[in-house]
Structure 1
Amino acid sequence: MLMKKMWVAEERKDKTVYRRRCPTGVEILSFFFISTCALLFLLVCSMLYGTRSENPSLPPLVKEYLPAGRCLCEFSTSFSCDTCLDCAANQAILVGNATQKEELEAWTFKYSRDRNNYGLDEAQCESAFPGQYEEIERAAKLRTRWGKVTKEDLASFGLTKGMVRAMIYDREIYIIETYLVDNVNRQKAVASLSALYRAVLAAPSAADIPNIEFVFSVEDLPAQPTKPVWSLARRVQDHNIWLIPDFGFWSWDMPALGTIDEVANEAIEREAVEPWSQKIEKLVWRGKITFAPKLRRALLDAAKGKPWSDVGQLKWTDKDFKEQYLGPVDQCNFMFIAHAEGRSYSGSLKYRQLCRSVIVSHKLQWIQHYHYLFRSNGTNQNFVEVERDFSDLSSAMEDLLDHPEKVKRIADNSVQVFRERYLTQAAEACYWRRLIKRWRDVMAWEPVLFSGVGTGERDKRGRKRGVRYETFMLYEPKVQLEWPKSAS
């Protein structure tokens, strides 16, 4: 068939001669179209293979065209909050220099006593956790400039996967609407609601807990980042998002986890048995590479074959999964712990920061509520930052191994700042209450408990908006998924 199309046969007396025929314009276009489609097909197949494969080694061509997806870093975050850390450090110095009488009169945050005190008053929260509220103040100032959040703003977007609409009224929490597509969604939403409930319930009687209405999302990737929504993480360009603490501060149903204070206590116990001098002088990391293939494969490639590396991936379907897996406390046995973001932020970072180890992280794209306390240099340095492609990981590790006193200082700073202060549940409760207060400052309306009843009206009662948190928690999981539709 091809010979007939591309060649013209001429019959002669002694032989048959074939002469090449010039292709027509249509045939040329068809050839290029088919070739382009074939190349695109191969490219798409390569990209799909690269993003879904758990094979640690990929062909160079596949790696080159591996998409970054949502992990494409248009902006990276870099915070300088020395004053925040200086204030927290100075508080400890004042306690040490105070007389016995002054210690009895003045209150200062003490980790052993106050870490799980959910009921600190506003003055104590300000004193104990300077710098923790920077993200809230950023969002509040921006909203003050743009105009207050209206009832129409919340109504302007329907709930998508992982969203809950709720209300605080007379210091009680009401769930108005949910859209939770699976049990993982449900667990995260219930954990966030529980943490908020605890913060409100434990608030001192004199604390100002205003009536508010809000929408929050527990998805890794906020689906509507231009809307005034509460979310777990944001990028620099997501100006409208208000950050809430990660659901893991309540608890996380994952192997070797649970509540965050459980993990902290286990890390402390482990370090009492295996002190700093016994830590393994290697960089450890375990994770699923398909959550962020380009980023996490770069970490694997940069650490491959290095004497200081114990970096490896997790394959949940592998029969040797239990041998590959290292819980957060097991990682405390190592002097260095690597961190890499996932589909967006990675909830594992806070657990790694509970260890007296040095966190080595690439430049972060996703911001969480406490990230303003990160310092990558100076006397307050509490982690090591490398490039997003880990191209300078090897030189960074060699520098750390050559300066053991620097390593110990960074690890101690990390414990003092994170484990012993800003990752405590006392800090989390203080953050929730400040969020409630500042959100009310930018709300343009007063929430009502009964639909059809205006503020101050008592002569009529409509349908109650939402269901109390305590009652919602008694519902079957399938009812919680899409309340109130699921109730019918």
Structure 2
Amino acid sequence: MLMKPMWVVEERKDKTVYRRRCPGASDILTFFFISTCALLFLLVCSILYGTRTENPHIPGLLKEVIPAGRCRCEFSTNFQCDTCLDCASNQAILAANTTEDDLWTFNYRKDKNNYGLDEEQCQSAFPGQYEDIERAVKVRKRWGKVMEQDLSSFDLTKGMVRGMIYDRELYIIETFLVDNVNRQKALASLSALYRSVLAAPPYVDIPNIEFVFSVEDLPAQPTKPMWSLARRVQDHNLWLIPDFGFWSWDMPALGTLDEVANEAVERESVEPWDQKMEKLVWRGKITFAPKLRRALLDAAKGKPWSDVGQLKWTDPNFKEQFLGPVDQCNYMFIAHAEGMSHDTELQHFRSQKQATMMETDDSAGRSYSGSLKYRQLCRSVIVSHKLQWIQHYHYLFRNNGSNQNFVEVERDFSDLSAAMEDLLDHPEKAKRIADNSVQVFRERYLTQAAEACYWRRLIKRWHDVMGFEPKLYKGVEGGASDNGKDGAKRVKREQKRGVRYETFILYEPRIQYEWPKSAAG
């Protein structure tokens, strides 16, 4: 709609007169329409700039309009698990047989990589680890059993896998993996599940189950019953699994989780607590969860205790800025911010092409951060904002009392300075928190023994809520008739479902991406 001329021209005998015309209602509406469009355009451009730029110095007004995305904290986690921690430190002694010499308690050095603990040993060694599984069971008791049609209703999207355990063997039924990162995450999760089943003692029951899981930070269909790496409080239908980094990750600074733990122990044997730098360290990319991470940078800016900085993948000094997981153990205090896992950030840095791809993905960096488990391998104080995302072992967090194992601050980091000053003023408190963290996480709940126990409990309790029995074979119409003559009635034959894990991992990546469709093409 075009605006009418604002001036009216009158021709008189001796001269031409220009008279201003009063605007009408349509003129006013047009003006407001154009102004609103201009403001919206400016707002969108500002938000895009604020979420994409790596410039740490942007106007305060712009910081206010940056959306929090999936990191908006509608709910934050608040766990009370003193009982769990007390049980872990005073675990029951189990009699393996009749002799006193064979009484068993969990020993970190001896049992940390014992994948074959039985149910009683798992419960004794890792109380509190299964809290979210029991929560999910209670949800299904209210909502009903998981039926075969529930799993078939999934429209498999990015990062999803449908699988089955049958007679203690793992089968892959269907996959939808869009790139190599997706594929590696799925293979890592499948490998950890396979190992837990394979290592189970013969007398431990492994029921037949069928399931769907996603390796995306936030599954596309969170209201349906599936396994997920993390969830929010409102995601009642998601069942938590250990994230892919518990198996391994294909980066030189990482590798298997127990490998990183061993390196942390080795580093701290050379540089013990009293030789650590009395500073708070953090490295990360601020465009992943920009509102949250910029708040951390602002709160730590110019502080004498701060070594908080961002990573710019295009910066020629990137290698000097970068700190691997074990390098962070040189510091007494390590900050944590949700947004994207450290292992995923490293993977995306592997090539600039991948980095560019991820920066154009609005969903990137709006979820949990798997870097927390690596930070908890250090004998350092973890300083974290209130968490919105829950992982399977988070029920063991304690932010106060004698069992305190991390320091919690507000999500805007407004009380970060006060928390740091308290820790620096009370070094004995800081040391106690760091020691508690090592005892609870590095030497207990982040061991591979704990992970294997968790997978087996998940399998057992998932079977308890299933309303059907998985079938290894299904009936399909055969190509031959019952009497061999054309036009006769077609008969049904049995077709095996899925492919064994051992075979699937040998397939070329292009086949693994979208099995079984890719195999037929």
CA distance, structure 2, for counterparts of residue 159 and residue 380 of structure 1: 42
Aligned residue in 2 for 1:456: none
Question: What is residue 49 of structure 2 aligned with on the other side?
Answer: 49
Q: Which of residues 438, 447, 450 in structure 2 aligns to 1:415? A: 438
CA deviations on 1:378-418 (whole Å, 9 max, x unpaired) are 00000000001101101111111100000000000000000
SS in 1 for 2:163: strand
Give 5+ residue unaligned stretches, structure 1: 454-459
User: Is the alpha carbon distance of 1:178 and 1:13 closer, same or farther for their aligned partners in structure 2, counting shifts above 3 Å?
Assistant: same
Q: 1:452: how far off?
A: 2.3
Specify the alignment match of 1:340 in structure 2: 337
CA contact (8 A) 1:144 1:442 kept: yes
- Residue in structure 2 matching 1:269, options 266, 271, 275: 266
Partner of 1:84: 84
Q: Distance in 2 between matches of 1:461 and 1:245?
A: 38
Cα distance in 1 for residues equivalent to 2:89 and 2:392: 20
Residues 1:68 and 2:68 aligned together:
yes
CA shift for structure 1 position 14: 7.8
Residues 269-418 of structure 1 aligned to structure 2 (within 5 Å): 269-342=266-339, 343-418=366-441
**Whole-Å separation in 1 of the counterparts to 2:18 and 2:334:** 70
8 Å Cα contact 1:200-1:433 kept in structure 2: yes
Q: What is the Cα deviation at residue 162 of structure 1? A: 0.3
Counterparts of 2:48 and 2:202, CA distance in 1: 56
TM-score (norm 2): 0.89
TM-score by length of 1: 0.95
CA positional deviation for 1:90: 1.2
C-alpha distance in 1, partners of 2:461/2:173? 21
Amino acid at match of 2:494: G
Alpha-carbon contact 2:3-2:30 (below 8 Å) kept: no
1:407–1:478 distance in 2 versus 1, CA, 3 Å: same
Q: Assess, with a 3 A threshold, how the Cα gap between structure 1 residues 176 and 156 changes in structure 2: closer, same or farther.
A: same
Q: Specify the code of the residue in structure 1 equivalent to 2:517.
A: K
141-150 vs 297-306, greater mean Cα deviation: 141-150
CA distance in 1: counterparts of 2:152 and 2:370, whole angstroms:
30
Residues 9/449 of structure 1: CA separation in 2 closer, same or farther (3 Å cut): same
Offset of 1:142 from its aligned partner? 1.4
Whole-angstrom distance in 1 between the partners of 2:67 and 2:128: 36
Distance 1:419 1:233 in 2: 20
Q: 1:3 and 1:82 mapped to 2: Cα distance?
A: 70
1:216 aligns with 2:213: yes
Question: Counterpart in 2 of 1:237?
Answer: 234
* Cross-structure match for 2:125: 128
Q: Is the 8 A contact 2:51 2:66 kept in 1?
A: yes
Pairwise CA distance, 1:19: 2.7
Residues 255 and 327, structure 1, Cα contact 8 Å, conserved in 2: no
Report SS of the residue matched to 2:496. coil
Gaps of 5+ in 2: 340-365, 477-491
Measured against aligned partners, the alpha-carbon deviations of 1:409-459 in whole angstroms (never above 9, x if no partner) come to: 000000000000000000000000000000000000110101129xxxxxx
Deviation at 1:10, TM superposition (A): 4.7
Structure 1 Cα separation of the partners of residues 398 and 99 of structure 2: 32
Question: 1:315: Cα distance to partner?
Answer: 1.1
Aligned residues: 477
Matched, 1:435 2:455: no
Contact map agreement 1:450 1:461 (CA 8 A) in 2: no
* Superposed CA offset, 1:294-338 (max 9, x none): 000100011011110000011112221111110000000000000
Q: 1:447 aligns with which of 470, 495, 498?
A: 470
1:144 corresponds to 2:141: yes
Distance in 2, Cα, partners of 1:275 & 1:402: 20
Distance 1:10 1:391 in 2: 65
Distance in 2, Cα, partners of 1:222 & 1:3: 49
Distance 1:316 1:385, change over 3 A: same
Q: 2:280 aligns to what SS in structure 1?
A: strand
Q: Distance in 2 between matches of 1:3 and 1:331?
A: 63
Residue 7 of structure 1: how far off its partner (Å): 2.2
CA contact (8 A) 1:171 1:211 kept: yes
Letter in 2 for 1:286: R
Tell me the C-alpha RMSD between the 2 structures: 2.0
Give 3-state SS (helix, strand or coil) of 1:291's partner. Answer: coil
The amino acid that maps onto 1:43 is: L
CA distance in structure 2 between the aligned counterparts of 1:78 and 1:16, rounded to whole angstroms = 78
The 3-state SS of whatever aligns with 2:474 is coil
